[in-house]
Amino acid sequence: MRQFTGHHTLLSVCNECSTVVAGDTTSFDLWYDTPEKAAARIEIIQKSINFLSDLYGYAYNNGTTNCFSNAPCECCESHKAGERYEVLFIQLEIDEDSSEEESSEEESSEDDSEYESETVEL
Ligand SMILES: [Zn+2]
């Protein structure tokens, strides 16, 4: 039986970071005056997420915390007050012992020709 052991890290992030984690950045065009400003902002956030992913693992959107906060975003460190969202970082540790399971394959190739030779048809 393979067990997944891993580290879970839950961070509270701003709306913008949550949007980038979700992968749909079209709303940035509404939030920023020009596509250039939006793209620059997305790039900063993406770099923060990449940095956190290196530390904590793959980022998933975990939904809203339903709480309004002026605490700094734990991803981009924005101090803009607003709703906070949860992003779950998951780091899976690959179980290296799983290769032992494959050793049983050699036994299955054992042929039963000895028994067949006993059957003599008359
Ligand atoms: Zn943020």
Backbone angles phi, psi at 76, to 5 degrees: -95, -5
- CA of 71 from ligand 1 middle (Å) equals 11
- Beta-carbon contacts of 102 under 8 Å, excluding residues fewer than 6 positions away, are none
Alpha carbons 75 and 18: distance in angstroms, whole number: 9
Q: Is the pLDDT of residue 107 over 60?
A: no
- CA of 43 from ligand 1 middle (Å) equals 12
- CA of 92 from ligand 1 middle (Å) equals 24
The edge-to-edge listing of strands for the beta sheet with 58-69 is 5-13, 82-93, 58-69
Alpha carbons 28 and 74: distance in angstroms, whole number: 19
Alpha carbons 97 and 103: distance in angstroms, whole number: 12
What are 37-44's contacts with CB under 8 Å, separation 24+?
41/16, 44/76
Domain ranges across the chain? 10-93
pLDDT tens digits along 15-51: 999 999 999 999 999 999 999 999 999 999 999 999 9
**What is the structure's pLDDT at 68?**
86
- CA of 4 from ligand 1 middle (Å) equals 30
